[in-house]
Chains A and B, each alone.
Chain A
Amino acid sequence: EAGVTQFPSHSVIEKGQTVTLRCDPISGHDNLYWYRRVMGKEIKFLLHFVKESKQDESGMPNNRFLAERTGGTYSTLKVQPAELEDSGVYFCASSQSLDGPLHFGNGTRLTVT
């Protein structure tokens, strides 16, 4: 079974540019989550999809962040325009059930200069 895959693994962009992160969950997992870890801080929830619907987006920091999951399969997280404080590691995770464990992707390390 393929795990959660994320692309790219690293991204270095300048302040003001746009970056789109992609996540492919485990096949059949309806629940897809985005998390972020900034330097020295704990992993923070960004949002949760159930299939193609946003179940909870309370963790999205501001309207520069846009997440989509068209068709309920893969998801994208766009940051536009990127700011310095957006630097961090963005993890995607999926689960089969709401109370089940999460399976994480390798993360995308985003550096905004």
Chain B
Amino acid sequence: RKEVEQDPGPFNVPEGATVAFNCTYSNSASQSFFWYRQDCRKEPKLLMSVYSSGNEDGRFTAQLNRASQYISLLIRDSKLSDSATYLCVVNDYKLSFGAGTTVTVRA
């Protein structure tokens, strides 16, 4: 079983739509969680950390469910610029990456 699993997508959504996707992790002792964004042929960039109570940053909301071992990312009011691959990253002192979820926002 992979350490971090994500739905690869792609999620094709119109501008203004809401899109949400999950990521599951296998190590119950994992301590911290992040969502990174990666644009084509670029380096991953931190989108947001995920805290146990859930957190929001503008149009982005991240949730952590330790009991079921998953984190989620929700994007409200999608913009064209949100088109990217979203990487779920789990830190158990060796960061493990999911393969990424591709989101394409169309006009």
Q: A: which residues have CB within 8 A of B?
A: 33, 35, 41-45, 48, 56, 58-59, 91, 98-107
Contact = CB atoms under 8 A, between A and B. Distances in A.
Range of interface residues on chain B?
A: 20 to 34
Contact of B44 (A44, A48, A104): A104
Contact of B95 (A58, A102, A106, A107): A102
Chain B contact residues: helix, strand, loop or mixed = strand
Chain A contact residues: helix, strand, loop or mixed = loop
8 contacts: A41-B99, A42-B99, A42-B100, A44-B97, A45-B94, A56-B94, A99-B91, A101-B34
Interface in B56-81: none
A48 B95 CA distance: 10
Contact of A42 (B31, B32, B42, B97): B97
